[in-house]
Amino acid sequence: MIVSNLPRRNLSDYRDIIGDEGINRIISMADKVKGYSITHVNSTSFGGGVAELLRSIVPIMNSIGVKTSWEVIEASWEFFIVTKKIHNALQGAEINLTNNEKQLYLEINRENAINKLRLDSDIIIVHDPQPLALRKFTSNNRKWIWRCHIDLSSPYKGIWNFISEILRDYNASIFHMKEYIHPEIPTPKKYVMPPSIDPLSDKNRELSQTKILKVLNRYGIDPNKPILIQVARFDPWKDPLGAIDTYRLVKREIPHVQLLLIASMAHDDPEGWIYLEKAIRHAGEDRDIHFLTNLIGVGSLEVNAFQRAASIALQLSIREGFGLAVAEALWKRTPVVARPSGGIKLQVIDGETGYLVNSIEEAARKVIYLLKNPSVRKKLGENGHRHIKENFIITKHIENYLKILKEVIRNQ
């Protein structure tokens, strides 16, 4: 299924952020790949970082003359239960698939490759494990790239053997960080490219104080009390229960603190419902803990308002692909207290843009310190905004993509 309801984006819209020099550099790079077409394929058009990235990348690429489209696979709930197992196993969980589960995974990919998707572009970029096996059922001579958004450094062997065999037919793979690349990745080319945020999207654009207060009021959040937030899917790797435990330790010393747990319940993540229920039970009857999801109307604009209103953002992930919610918070000058998992280490510079912690107790101590020292909070927030602007906004991402596409085309 092709995704067509995309926002209007033009590279020139970012001139105030990256300047004429940045605009001209990207246009010059785009000239090298014009005439070639690109199709991105993933598993959902909403919810999660991949969909958010593509919602901006696709229209911007088209605005600079690089023909780019976006396809989403069609699949059953049972398929996504299987792919969530694959996802967790690739991040190290000891999980195996039955032969029936493997067959379901392959059959859904076969059906999409043959009957549902248009895969006739010069370059096909497949995101994450869900649509990975599409390549197995196509005989075209296109260039195929796997864009991996998870930590693949130490996968569980059984699943890794299954996935790596499928990867052999790919021309290249892209990872967020060098440390994520498994030493036995079979693709001829391997690239490193961190993701990014779009400063002009509804989730990141500037908001008036009036708009922020209106959103807080709608969801019963008191703007006069300290606000802690964690924006992350409900799954064990994100540790929402740890965020609740941190909040409880903080509350012993600062009784009026509030915690917002914010997530988009994506249809390709069936495990999310299980961990949402676990988190709600863990929170109990505490009225200062708020569960805020798309199920009650929380969208990109609302997340934007919550991140701007927050005193401190938590990101207590045990394992993390990159953690774009960290970049979002820092862009809004909200300091972050986080575990040093995955790409978080690239964004939270300890003592400069926030604090890296190794335990719930340490997280609570850092949060209490920042709540009691607003001047430190402000300094870290300003440093964080500058750090994200220099390294992790969408135009930087476009430049990195153009470099990779140029090389892939040259090798063709």
315-328 tens-digit pLDDT: 999 988 888 999 99
158-190 tens-digit pLDDT: 999 999 999 999 999 999 999 999 999 999 999
Would you give the distance in Å from CA 229 to the centre of its chain? 17
4-40 tens-digit pLDDT: 889 899 999 999 999 999 999 999 999 999 999 999 9
256-298 tens-digit pLDDT: 999 999 998 766 666 778 888 999 999 999 999 999 998 899 9
209 pLDDT tier (thresholds 50, 70, 90): very high
CATH topology agreement for domains 11-196+393-411 and 209-391: yes
Report the distance separating Cα 101 and Cα 78, nearest Å: 9
Q: CATH topology for 209-391?
A: Rossmann fold (3.40.50)
239-266 tens-digit pLDDT: 999 999 999 999 999 999 999 999 987 6
State whether residue 60 is helix, strand or coil. helix
Would you give the distance in Å from CA 32 to the centre of its chain? 28
Q: Read off the amino acid at residue 401.
A: Y
Measuring CA to CA, which residue among 400, 404, 396 is closest to residue 22?
Answer: 396
Second-level CATH architecture of 11-196+393-411:
3-Layer(aba) Sandwich (3.40)
Query: Where exactly are the structural domains of the chain?
Result: 11-196+393-411, 209-391
Query: Which neighbouring-strand residues pair with 125?
Result: 40, 145
Q: List C-alpha distances in Å: 310 to 62, 280, 307, 316, 403.
A: 35, 21, 5, 16, 37
Torsions phi, psi for 173 (to 5 deg): -135, 150
State whether residue 278 is helix, strand or coil. helix
Query: Which neighbouring-strand residues pair with 39?
Result: 69, 124
Whether pLDDT at 97 is above 80: yes
Structure tokens belonging to residue 184: 């036995």
Q: List C-alpha distances in Å: 191 to 60, 165, 346.
A: 22, 19, 17
